[in-house]
């Protein structure tokens, strides 16, 4: 499974990139706001060292304007994935931009039917939001499973990009279900390495080592 980092914080992306943990990046208007930077500037910087897909989102709501914004974002770098919402205008935009050879990430997906439409429109990625479904007492992981079944049934090439990831367990469960990609904040990716028994074991090893009175260096 590929790891995309859900942030516009360049330093956080670089840290994980240096460890080989970054297969791509996703951003959205909220993350751009949090970064405090210009969308074109920060996206260009991210693309300068991340070779995988970097999602940059349009903000228009009508297809004609969305297409124009998408073309401008796609011009930043060859690895831009234009991010569009799962609305009828977003699907129209997806069809046009994907037809022009651009990667398109269709976001804000909350149902299998929406995911089916996105695949038919030529989406490169579909972004189902797990955490937001959990917030309203629906199982977001069920949606990942439903999409996986539908896409496999008909050999759709659209990749399932599990989004709104809130925990390490979300990542594990998505991997088990068969999501192609998970996009998560840096803190969640780092949390994958944490386990109380690892900490406990290391603590005991260090105490025992201190008793030997030895040094390696």
Report the mean per-residue pLDDT for the chain. 98
**Beta-carbon-side half-sphere exposure of residue 17 (alpha carbons within 13 Å):** 18
The pTM of the full predicted model, rounded to 2 decimals, is 0.96
Contact status, residue 185 vs residue 27, Cβ threshold 8 Å: no
- 72 catalytic? Reply is no
**For 127-143, what is the mean pLDDT?**
97
Catalytic residue among 2, 44, 72, 83: 83
Structural domain that includes position 55: 2-212
Per-residue pLDDT band for 75 (boundaries 50, 70, 90) equals: very high
Residue 175 lies in a domain: yes
Whole-Å CA distances, 50 to 22, 40, 159: 8, 15, 19
Q: Which two tokens stand for residue 115?
A: 């995911």
pLDDT digits (tens, 9 = 90+) for 152-166: 999 999 999 999 999
Residue 151 lies in a domain: yes
**Beta-carbon-side half-sphere exposure of residue 27 (alpha carbons within 13 Å):** 33
Residue 150 lies in a domain: yes
Per-position b or e across 41-80, b if 16+ CB within 10 A of its CB: ebbeebbeebebbbbbbbebeebeebbebbeebbebbebb
pLDDT digits (tens, 9 = 90+) for 9-61: 999 999 999 999 999 999 999 999 999 999 999 999 999 999 999 999 999 99
Residue 96 lies in a domain: yes
Q: Output the domain CATH number for residue 68.
A: 3.20.20.70
Residue 217 lies in a domain: no
Contact status, residue 102 vs residue 94, Cβ threshold 8 Å: no
* pLDDT (0 to 100) of residue 150: 98
Residue 13 lies in a domain: yes
Total count of domains within the chain: 1
Residue 7 lies in a domain: yes
């Amino acid at each position: 499974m590929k790891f995309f980092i859900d942030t516009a914080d360049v330093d956080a992306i670089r840290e994980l990139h240096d460890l080989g943990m970054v297969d791509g990046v996703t951003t959205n208007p909220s993350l751009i706001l949090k970064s405090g930077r210009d969308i074109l500037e920060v996206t260009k910087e991210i693309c300068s060292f991340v070779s995988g897909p970097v999602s940059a989102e349009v903000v228009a709501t009508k297809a004609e304007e969305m297409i124009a914004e998408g073309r401008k974002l796609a011009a930043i770098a060859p690895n831009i994935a234009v991010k569009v919402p799962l609305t009828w205008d977003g699907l129209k935009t997806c069809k046009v931009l994907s037809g022009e050879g651009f990667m398109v990430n269709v976001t804000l997906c909350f149902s299998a039917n929406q995911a089916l439409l996105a695949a038919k429109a030529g989406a490169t990625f579909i972004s189902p939001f797990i955490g937001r479904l959990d917030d309203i007492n629906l199982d977001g992981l069920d949606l990942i499973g439903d999409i996986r079944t539908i896409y496999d049934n008909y050999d759709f090439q659209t990749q399932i990009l599990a989004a709104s990831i809130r925990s390490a367990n979300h990542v594990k469960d998505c991997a088990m279900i068969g999501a192609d990609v998970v996009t998560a904040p840096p803190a969640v990716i780092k949390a994958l390495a944490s386990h109380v028994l690892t900490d406990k074991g290391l603590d005991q090893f260090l105490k025992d080592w201190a008793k030997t009175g030895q040094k390696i260096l």
